[in-house]
Amino acid sequence: MSQQLSREFLIQLANEYGTPLYVYHAEKIKEQYDKLKGAFGKINARFYYACKALTNINVLKYVNSLGAGVDCVSIYEVKLALKAGFDPKNILYTPNCVDFQEIVAAKDLGVNINIDNISILEQFGNKFGSSYPVCIRLNPHIMAGGNFKISTGHVDSKFGISIHQMRHIERVVKSTKLKVTGVHMHTGSEIKDIGVFLEGLDVMFEITSHFPDLEFIDLGSGFKVPYQPDDPETDVNTLGQKMAVAFKNFEKETGKKLQVWFEPGKYLVSQCGYFVVKTNVVKQTPATVFAGVNSGFNHLIRPMFYEAYHHIENISNPNGPERIYTVVGNICETDTFAWDRKLHEVREGDYLVFYNAGAYGFEMSSNFNSRLKPAEVLVKDSKAHLIRKRDEFEDLLKNQIEVL
């Protein structure tokens, strides 16, 4: 049975902790993780939580307790993961366009390093040679993902080293004696077509012959979760079955037994998250009825940045007559969460909830307009835990230095 928090419980939390409020359901994270383990149970698979989706230390600790590793994209995410208790060998560091010294710092912390730039690969090889194994991120030139902004494997992407530069990679590896134990690709997010993963796997299989020390293939992630009631999601069970056959055939042909790594972020935490806001005003114009809430893109930017859909519900009046509203925020910009959305009648003071708010919600929040960041609550075993206090005015001044 799918884990979901009730309207009544969300209202209770909103009354207790105030709004806007992010709420995360721990058991939903476990449900998603168990789905992946089950789907890929016939192959030697490991899962590294892409923590850029949500880095609260309590979420990291919980994911660690499930047995997952963690995928990090900055040295500070690496340090957060270590503080949360992850073993360095269960941390994968995949930076992009960072200073070389940050990569050296990650090496000193003993984590797995994934390099996506020939210049950095050469610098690392010249400095460390074969003493520290690395993974190489490749760009397979596969167009995938929900939209262009979240597609990372196409020809114009800044991510990865082009597969057409394999000869250059080989020269660097040979001349610097680098030990390459993994190859990596990630084509984008919200991938519905499992054929994209299988196509990428074929590319990775072809490349394995170039690296004699290879131990794993990392296929990134991009598993889609449903955002609308009738939305499709990635069929991980069928994908797992097809990949099991592919790996069996690969082992038969080459004699090589490789692990496969995945980096689910949104897939693990998106559906665990609820964002609860209060309706400040209901405003009628000649063409539109606006439901203006006490939040904006300073708290949830995905609808404005990615044109992402979040299901919205009026949990204060779930049986009221349905009307059409445009849901907007209180920021001095055009911060529209949803145009012409059918909701049960919204009244001033009603609580609205945005579903699928666990990934890239709080994580991409800001103090724009000098607004305060919301609190975060983690629900585990039916008990609510405050895991981040709401900002206070003093937090806006925390790192400012008054000189005048």
Q: How far apart are CA 152 and CA 366, in angstroms?
A: 25
Instruction: Name the E strands within 26-68.
Output: 45-50
Buried b (16+ CB within 10 A) or exposed e, 315-351: bbbeeeeeeebbbbbbbeeebebbeebebbebeeebb
Q: Classify the phi-psi angles of 266: left when phi > 0, otherwise alpha if psi is within -120 to 50, otherwise beta.
A: alpha
Strand partners, 355: 274
CB 264 within 8 A of CB 219: no
The residue length of the chain stands at: 404
Single-letter amino acid, residue 57: I
Is 333 annotated for ligand binding?
Answer: yes
Find the catalytic residue in 72, 97, 272, 332. 332
Q: How far apart are CA 292 and CA 280, in angstroms?
A: 6
| 332 assigned to active site | yes
Q: Does an H or E element contain 117, and which?
A: none
Is 31 annotated for ligand binding?
Answer: no
DSSP string, 222-286: -B----STT-----HHHHHHHHHHHHHHHHHHH----EEEE--SHHHHTTTEEEEEEEEEEEE-S
Is 358 annotated for ligand binding?
Answer: no
Annotated binding site for substrate: 302, 306, 333, 360
Catalytic residues: 332
Annotated binding site: 222, 302, 306, 333, 360
Annotated binding site for pyridoxal 5'-phosphate: 222, 360
